[in-house]
């Protein structure tokens, strides 16, 4: 796995979060780890095909997802991740991945993405695979993990 594969997703995520959540995230340390579903987490999975195939998974604690969705909705406070909240967090993943695929396209790498799929902990639909992983730290909100798995 090449570390530069995660850069378009990182660049896109920072930009989208700044625009829709009004927070400038800082970047944690890049690493390779197994993607394993954790308690009280929500995962946004987007499959990729084209010059390479794989997936990007955005992982976050449910409480962080609720804070992000509330910020996206102009401060409307959600207390549970209902259909509206899942739709909003799904759209966040879609915006990040769409922008990342545009960045890749500008580099001559064509990647098609699928619509996002929101997975709550307990559904265990995520395959356990090694991923390039980098956390985005959002002050006052929490952490969003970007995990890219390509073959």
Residue with tokens 């976050």: 60
**All structural domains of the chain:** 3-146 (3.40.1550.10)
Three-state secondary structure call for residue 2: coil
pLDDT at 121: 67
Look at residue 102 in the predicted model and tell me its pLDDT: 95
Those residues whose C-beta lies under 8 Å from the C-beta of residue 117, and which sit 6 or more positions away, are 44, 45, 46, 90, 125
Output the pLDDT for position 56: 93
Query: For the segment 55-70, what is each residue's pLDDT rounded down to a tens digit?
Result: 999 999 999 999 999 9
Q: Which segments in the chain show pLDDT lower than 50?
A: none
pLDDT at position 124 is: 53
What pLDDT score does 78 carry?
86
Whole-number pLDDT of residue 57: 92
What's the pLDDT score for residue 27? 94
Beta strands in 15-98 (DSSP E): 26-27, 31-34, 41-50, 54-61
- CA–CA separation, 63 and 137 (whole Å): 14
pLDDT of residue 2: 66
């Amino acid at each position: 796995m090449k570390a530069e594969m995660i850069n378009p997703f990182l660049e896109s995520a920072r930009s989208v979060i700044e625009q829709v959540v009004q927070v400038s995230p800082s970047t944690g340390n890049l690493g390779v780890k197994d993607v394993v579903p954790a308690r009280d987490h929500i995962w946004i999975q987007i499959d990729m095909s084209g010059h390479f195939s794989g997936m990007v998974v955005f992982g976050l604690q449910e409480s962080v997802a609720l804070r992000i969705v509330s910020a996206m909705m102009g401060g409307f406070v959600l207390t549970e991740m209902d259909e509206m909240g899942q739709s909003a967090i799904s759209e966040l993943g879609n915006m990040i991945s769409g922008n990342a695929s545009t960045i890749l396209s500008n580099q001559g790498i064509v990647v098609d993405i699928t619509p996002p799929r929101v997975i709550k902990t307990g559904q265990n639909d995520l395959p356990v695979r090694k991923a390039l992983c980098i956390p985005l730290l959002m002050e006052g909100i929490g952490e969003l993990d970007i995990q890219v798995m390509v073959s």
